[in-house]
Amino acid sequence: KNEVEQSPQNLTAQEGEFITINCSYSVGISALHWLQQHPGGGIVSLFMLSSGKKKHGRLIATINIQEKHSSLHITASHPRDSAVYICAADNTDKLIFGTGTRLQVFP
Amino acid sequence: GAVVSQHPSRVICKSGTSVKIECRSLDFQATTMFWYRQFPKQSLMLMATSNEGSKATYEQGVEKDKFLINHASLTLSTLTVTSAHPEDSSFYICSARLSGYEQYFGPGTRLTVT
């Protein structure tokens, strides 16, 4: 079993839909990161969470430390949101990556 | 936000040659930089952790003599792939730790060995 599990692996949505990507981890963490990787390959850091909830534009990230679970929500999804979303557990020494969720948003 | 650059963005080299990839933190000092490798449709794999002024810490299975890492300053780390072979063709990404747990990623370097 991977230390960081994401679901779903693939996700398709119509423009405007509300999207949720889930991440569960089994290791102790100092923080949890949500990353976005576009087809070109570059990675953008979306959020770094150690507790509670963060919001940036249409993106919301939550974390429940007791349940070792985090979610990334995208409201009013848009085709430009199409990318791979990766959660990564930060155990202070290094990041442990989930396998990613490939999101495609169609117009 | 903090910016990390990588150079080159793409490189093609012949088998047996060496290739150097640079990772720079442009507007902050990074005591720790990380090097990752990513194969198509797979997640990132940590290769090594690079601390300024000291030897890099390599992950299990990564050949330190093949992937040379130098972290000469607080804003620059380099990865040299020595005697490259086609199986070294991959996407190499660096990241730099700003403070606490903030980490910023470079845009990546696509290496193709022919």
pLDDT tens, residue by residue, B53-83: 888 999 999 999 999 999 888 899 999 999 9
Tell me how far apart the alpha carbons of residues B19 and B7 are, in angstroms, rounded to a whole number: 11
Please give the residue of chain A at the shortest CA–CA distance from B36. A95
Report yes or no: B8 and B77 within 8 Å, Cβ to Cβ. Answer: no
Is the CB of residue B7 less than 8 Å away from at least one CB of chain A? no
- Most confident region among A42-46, A78-82, B26-30 by mean pLDDT: A78-82
Q: State pLDDT tens for residues B32-59.
A: 999 999 988 888 999 999 988 888 999 9
Mutate to test the interface with B, among A95, A101, A102 (most CBs of B within 10 A): A95
Which tokens go with A57?
């534009």
Residue % of chain B over a pLDDT of 70:
99
Report yes or no: A33 and A23 within 8 Å, Cβ to Cβ. Answer: no
Per CB-CB distance under 8 Å, the chain B contacts of A90 are: 101, 103
Mutate to test the interface with B, among A45, A85, A102 (most CBs of B within 10 A): A45
Selected residues 53-112 of chain B with any CB under 8 Å from a CB in chain A: 91, 93, 95, 100-108, 110
Tell the residue number behind the tokens 């779903």, with chain if given.
A8
Q: Name the 3-class secondary structure at B87.
A: helix
Tell me how far apart the alpha carbons of residues B29 and B13 are, in angstroms, rounded to a whole number: 31
More confident residue, B51 or A67: A67
pLDDT tier, B1 (very low <50, low <70, confident <90, very high otherwise): low
Selected residues 37-56 of chain A with any CB under 8 Å from a CB in chain B: 40-45, 48, 50
Tell me how far apart the alpha carbons of residues A103 and A35 are, in angstroms, rounded to a whole number: 13
Contact check, Cβ <8 Å, A99/B105: no
Q: Name the 3-class secondary structure at B49.
A: strand
Quickly list DSSP for A24-41.
EE-S--SEEEEEEE-TT-
